[in-house]
Amino acid sequence: MMRRWLTAVGCMIVGCQLMACVAHTQPQEFFQLTAESSSNRAMQTRMFETKDEAELLSASATVLQDIGFQVEESVREVGFLRAAKERSAREYGQDINRFLVLLFSSGASIVGVPPIVIPVDLHQKIAASVVIRPLNSESTRQEVRVAFYRVVWKGAGAAGRQQIPPGEQRMEMLRDPVMYQAFFSKLSKAVFLEPFAL
Amino acid sequence: MRQTIRGCVAIAMLVFVEGCVAPQPSQDLLAPTEAQMKIRSVQTRTFEVKDRQIAMRAVIAALQDLGFIIERANEALGLVSAARFAEPNYYDVVGVTVTVRPQADGHMMIRANAIYNNKPIEDPKVYQNFFATLERSLFVAKD
């Protein structure tokens, strides 16, 4: 009886472990257009009535410089530009959470278990990738598409006796429409042209 | 007893000496395998486009539509590399490198290599999906 129980428990543990191996999203899906693709595209894209693609590209670089970015890569022939800036990622909310968890878990230190210290976000790199392309064969209309994203590095922490080393990374696309609107309004002021959306 | 010990020492020495011999690389280490040829045909497709720049711009637009961030581009060599985060899990990255090469017959050969967390993706479906999006993007660019 006991042995049967043990086998069942063993099977469950192995099953759980195998389940953890299955990726949540298959790479296949990353090459498929999704429902959000078109709305993201609309948010990231504006069109300008101009023939001067190079002027738009250099104006984009200036706008990004104005908001503290450093240009990392540029290819004029295909209208591409990538810029980045590094900033602190400290947030009060995370520090308050960290303190509260530390406070509650410090009760366990009576029995010799060290308190829990949650790692907080320390540093981030925000980057922007800009692509400009002509929309018609006479290239009188240009499309500007920008994507913002960031990588966040976490600090050290501890869960009981287990130390969590610093440097864990988290990556995300930035999908705040206000950020994109601000970029395009600055760009339109820089080139003296009115942008229009899709 | 002494003989047994001697035997053991001899065997131990042999194992040691054998460990010193570097494993020889086999002759076919760099020879293309059948699997490699197959994956190359899956990753490659030719399109009826004359201008390389138009093809490159279409590749960039397709990758952007798929949510990729363009990381690097080289017009002279026809290279585009891009990546995207495997949302919603924030630790995984999908990377892709696309090369655009004009062919003698006026067609354009486009090859895509995709990786998922530094491991190559060999699923043909992935590349079919990519080329389907690219085809649409090229069609829009032609208009």
The CATH code of the domain that includes A133 is 3.30.310.80
> Is residue B37 over pLDDT 50?
yes
Note the pLDDT of residue A22: 46
Please give the structure tokens belonging to residue B86: 């495997």
> Is residue B129 over pLDDT 90?
yes
Residue of B87, B98, B119, B135 to mutate, interface with A, max A Cβ within 10 Å: B87
**Is B13 inside a domain boundary?**
no
Q: How many domains does chain B have?
A: 1
Note the pLDDT of residue B24: 74
**In whole angstroms, how far apart are CA B28 and each of A26, A29, A91, B25, B38?**
33, 35, 56, 8, 18
Rounded to whole angstroms, how far apart are CA atoms A155 and A175?
A: 25
Helical segments of chain A, H only: 2-21, 35-44, 53-66, 92-105, 177-191
* B141 — pLDDT class (breaks 50, 70, 90): low
Tell me which H or E stretch contains B137.
helix B124-142
Segment 111-140 of chain B within 8 Å of chain A by CB: 114, 116, 121, 123, 125-127, 129-130, 133
Nearest CA-CA distance, residue B3 and chain A, Å: 47
> Is residue B133 over pLDDT 60?
yes
Q: How many domains does chain A have?
A: 1
Q: Which residues of A touch B (CB under 8 A)?
A: 23-25, 27-28, 30-34, 37, 40-41, 44, 73, 75, 77-80, 82, 127, 129, 131, 133, 145, 147, 149, 169-173
Residue A185 neighbours by CB distance under 10 Å: 13
- Give me the domain span that covers residue A60: 45-191
Q: Per the CB < 8 Å rule, is B86 touching A149?
A: no
**Which residue is closest to A173 within chain B, CA to CA?**
B85
CATH number (domain holding residue B78): 3.30.310.80
Note the pLDDT of residue A10: 57
**Is B9 inside a domain boundary?**
no
* Closest residue by Cα to residue A127 from B72, B115, B80, B66: B72
Q: Per the CB < 8 Å rule, is A25 touching B86?
A: yes
- Give me the domain span that covers residue B41: 25-142
> Is residue B108 over pLDDT 90?
yes
When mean pLDDT is compared over A172-176, B19-23, B35-39, the highest value belongs to A172-176
Please give the structure tokens belonging to residue A152: 């966040």
Please give the structure tokens belonging to residue B140: 């829009």
Mean pLDDT of chain B: 85
Name which of B75, B84, B114 is nearest A75 (Cβ-Cβ).
B75
**Low-confidence spans in chain A with pLDDT less than 70:** 1-25
**Contact residues, chain B, for A23 at CB < 8 Å:** 92
Nearest CA-CA distance, residue B63 and chain A, Å: 9
Nearest CA-CA distance, residue A7 and chain B, Å: 33
Note the pLDDT of residue B44: 95
Q: Per the CB < 8 Å rule, is B126 touching A27?
A: yes
User: What 8-state DSSP symbol labels residue A36?
Assistant: H
Tell me which H or E stretch contains B64.
helix B52-65
- pTM comes to 0.76
Task: Tell me which of A100-104, A169-173, B32-36, B50-54 is least confident.
Answer: B32-36
Note the pLDDT of residue B16: 59
Task: Tell me which of A111-125, A129-143, B22-36, B41-55 is least confident.
Answer: B22-36
Note the pLDDT of residue B1: 65
Please give the structure tokens belonging to residue B65: 């539509």
> Is residue B90 over pLDDT 80?
no
What mean pLDDT do residues B70-88 have?
A: 90
**Is B8 inside a domain boundary?**
no
